[in-house]
């Protein structure tokens, strides 16, 4: 029998019905978040990793150390060997309602891969999924857009991102597109253990559902507007601002606050400074698209919004978060429809969630794995007897 967790906490009524916020439930080997420096992957601050190849960062999350050049090459070859999708996703995607959100398509796609070829081995399944996602993401875009003719074959010798862009075939500057996606994927791969999508994936896996079912659940969790879909909302917000004039932007921000609406791209549950992931994307934008209209808007927002938000002492962190810049960059490189942005977040997060599920299932408790999740809920009438 698993020990009851009550003794670990001095439980008071203030801990209940708060979405478990801040309540310790486990340990995480892949990443941690500090209030000043944000997320670190396996001890490395995210800014040190942002310029690397995404494959090397996937290797880091799964192996807890950066690869040597030989290990890096071997890992890319391993991903290539795993890349082939063992079925035809075309008819599946063709049958899905186009009105459905792309995140729902992503979830169905992941489930489908699992139904075709689940090895019931946490590592095998996590890596197979990572290797197959670039092609699946490209097909997802194409089928939603009705561009189903003459889809190029998957070229498994390409990098993860190039396999996506090769399938997508957008008539845009490929170098910029690959650069932006590469940084985007790395910045979004992991974010500690307690964020909703990671937690949900680990919880589902704790009942020994398959890696694919757990990951599809994670994607469903990520699709909520309070979680991953905030990046979609953020570009929609920037498009609504519509000007980079400082005074007009300030008036807009104040108007949103007066109307009780969030100022998207600002604030954070843990960070108490500007998110380094925002800073990394601003640096990239200054290099790639300093004169882009949306980029000019977010540059002004970065200057104006923290000052205005700081006037409200309730707001713990008035600074820019990761979502402020990603939409403007994706839009600039040709990915114009914000409805898709959370799928990139999901694609990236599969790396971190897969590594965390592996750790919980195969490494924790000397290899026995974390038991099935079973938090306690008090019946209303019990509550006052058990909790002071």
Q: Of the residues 268, 331, 332, 359, which is catalytic?
A: 268
Token code pair at residue 344 = 């990139």
Give the max Cα distance, the chain. 67
Q: Would you state the torsion angle of the CA atoms of residues 294, 106, 348, 325, taken in this order, to the nearest 10 degrees?
A: 10
CA 378 to chain centre: 33
* Residue labelled with tokens 């938090």: 375
264 vs 340, which CB is nearer to ligand HAX? Answer: 264
Q: Rounded to the nearest whole angstrom, what is the least distance from the CB of residue 272 to ligand HAX in the complex?
A: 9
Residue pair 319/271 in contact (Cβ under 8 Å)? The answer is yes
The residue among 40, 58, 319 whose CA lies nearest residue 193 is: 40
210 vs 321, which CB is nearer to ligand HAX? Answer: 321
Residues 6+ apart with CB under 8 A from 224: 196
114 vs 265, which CB is nearer to ligand HAX? Answer: 265
Q: Rounded to the nearest whole angstrom, what is the least distance from the CB of residue 215 to ligand HAX in the complex?
A: 18
Q: Of the residues 275, 323, 331, 332, which is catalytic?
A: 323
Distance between first and last Cα of the chain:
27
Sites of contact with ligand HAX (CB under 6 A): 227, 230, 234, 262-269, 309, 314-317, 321-323
Active-site residue, 7 included: no
Q: Rounded to the nearest whole angstrom, what is the least distance from the CB of residue 229 to ligand HAX in the complex?
A: 9
Q: How far apart are CA 205 and CA 189, in angstroms?
A: 19
Active-site residue, 386 included: no
Q: Rounded to the nearest whole angstrom, what is the least distance from the CB of residue 269 to ligand HAX in the complex?
A: 4
181 vs 320, which CB is nearer to ligand HAX? Answer: 320
64 vs 227, which CB is nearer to ligand HAX? Answer: 227
Residues 6+ apart with CB under 8 A from 106: 137, 140, 219, 343, 346, 347
**Measured at CB, which residue is nearest to ligand HAX?**
267
Active-site residue, 268 included: yes
Q: Of the residues 104, 227, 292, 337, which is catalytic?
A: 227
Q: Rounded to the nearest whole angstrom, what is the least distance from the CB of residue 302 to ligand HAX in the complex?
A: 13
The residue among 132, 140, 187, 134 whose CA lies nearest residue 165 is: 134
267 vs 327, which CB is nearer to ligand HAX? Answer: 267
Q: Rounded to the nearest whole angstrom, what is the least distance from the CB of residue 22 to ligand HAX in the complex?
A: 10
Residue pair 202/358 in contact (Cβ under 8 Å)? The answer is no
User: Mapping DSSP to helix (H, G, I), strand (E, B) and coil, where does residue 154 land?
Assistant: coil
Kindly write down the DSSP assignment for every residue of 212-266, as one continuous string. HHHHHHHHHHHTSTTTTTHHHHHHHHHHHH----HHHHHHHHHHHHHTT---TTB
Q: Which residues participate in catalysis according to the annotation? A: 227, 268, 323
């Amino acid at each position: 029998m698993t020990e009851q967790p009550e003794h670990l906490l001095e439980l008071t009524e203030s801990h209940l019905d708060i979405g478990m916020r801040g309540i310790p439930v486990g340990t995480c080997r892949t990443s941690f978040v500090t209030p000043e420096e944000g997320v670190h992957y396996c001890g490395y601050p995210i800014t040190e990793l942002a310029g690397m190849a995404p494959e090397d960062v996937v290797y880091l999350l799964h192996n807890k150390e950066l690869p040597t050049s030989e290990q890096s090459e071997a890992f890319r070859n391993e991903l290539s060997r795993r890349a082939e999708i063992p079925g035809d996703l075309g008819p599946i995607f063709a049958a899905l309602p186009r009105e459905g959100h792309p995140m729902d398509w992503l979830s169905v796609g992941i489930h489908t891969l699992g139904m075709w070829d689940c090895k019931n081995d946490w590592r095998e399944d996590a890596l197979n999924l990572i290797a197959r996602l670039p092609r699946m993401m490209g097909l997802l875009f194409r089928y939603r857009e009705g561009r189903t003719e003459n889809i190029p074959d998957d070229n498994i010798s390409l990098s993860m991102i190039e396999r996506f862009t090769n399938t997508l075939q957008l008539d845009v500057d490929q170098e910029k597109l690959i650069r932006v996606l590469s940084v985007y994927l790395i910045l979004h791969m992991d974010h500690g253990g307690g964020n909703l999508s990671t937690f949900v994936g680990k919880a589902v896996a704790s009942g020994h559902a398959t890696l694919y079912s757990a990951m599809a659940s994670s994607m469903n969790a990520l699709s909520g507007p309070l979680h991953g879909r905030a990046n979609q909302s953020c570009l929609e917000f920037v498009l609504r601002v519509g000007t980079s004039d400082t005074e007009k932007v300030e008036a807009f921000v104040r108007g949103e606050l007066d109307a009780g609406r969030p100022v998207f791209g600002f604030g954070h549950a843990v960070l108490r400074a500007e998110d380094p992931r925002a800073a990394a994307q601003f640096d990239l934008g200054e290099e790639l698209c300093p004169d882009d209209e949306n980029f000019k808007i977010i540059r002004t927002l970065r200057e104006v919004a923290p000052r205005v938000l700081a006037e409200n002492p309730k707001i713990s962190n008035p600074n820019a978060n990761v979502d402020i810049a990603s939409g403007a960059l994706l839009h600039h490189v040709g990915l114009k429809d914000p409805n898709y942005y959370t799928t990139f977040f999901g694609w990236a997060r599969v790396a971190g969630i897969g590594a965390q599920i592996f750790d919980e299932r195969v490494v924790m408790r000397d290899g026995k794995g974390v038991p099935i999740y079973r938090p306690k809920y008090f019946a209303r009438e019990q509550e006052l007897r058990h909790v002071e």
